Structure 1
Amino acid sequence: MPGFIKPQLAILKDKAPSGAQWIHEIKFDGYRTQVHVDKGTARIFTRNGHDWTRRFSAIAGSFKLRSQTIFDGEVVVIHEGRTNFSELQADLAKGRQDCVSAWNKDPVFGVIGIQSGPRDKGPQWLPSSHGSRGWDAGGGDDW
């Protein structure tokens, strides 16, 4: 399993490129992360390679996949239908994870996510934008 992989970052431009060869994604206002899953154990890295597995332990605990997989995504707090970076920072400063969501940027399968649910239910996988790639927390036997 490779270690941290430096991600591609967006470059500010005056105009978005056009054409069928380009894929565009929604900009989430959160922390860019990589989730490294190695046979049921997950580690979460920031875009600069810092290990934040403890800070995002609820999310890390949801990746119980038997595979070796790296997810490139964003950890966010959604408030009134929008991501809110200030609320994410405030929740993390208080040690809260119950409103934190993780979104995977995957152009093949669409956006999938997990969200910390009510404390008695734990994190829940959210359905993908294609409607076919959602799982219950704890993964599934298809991986």
Structure 2
Amino acid sequence: MTITTDKVSSEQELKIQRGIRLAEDELVTRIQTALDNFRDLKNLEESQYRNLLHVATSTDSPEVIKNFLRYQVGRDNKWGKGKNSLAESIIKDIDHWIHQKAIDIAKEAEVAKGSPKTNEIKMDLIRRYLGYGARYLKYKRDGES
């Protein structure tokens, strides 16, 4: 049974929060893998990554975040270029894994298909994913060596 209103009950909200918490390990693993696979990580400045986090916290649109990432790729080489860029790795995770995870969480919580709540779930996952990336980037740049 799927509830057809845009509002969610407290029971649904609890299911959503549980689904998000259960996704956290994979969010951490995915962003760490993206950062580990990026060869020019030493060139990426923490301030540039923090700017990405700022964009993610100031919008409710995944497309705005992806637009910012593509803009960064166009500006200079610090995010890499083309298919092998860190930006494209992040965009792929947003478009595929995070998108599907948001749909799965919404479905499990019986949120109506196409509800704006699904986008809220997706944005929460994106923000967490990028936040975990900021922590890991700090480790990779300053703590690993």
More helix by share: 2
- What's the TM-score bracket when you normalise by the shorter of the two chains? under 0.3
More strand by share: 1
Instruction: With the length of structure 1 as denominator, give the TM-score of the two structures.
Output: 0.28
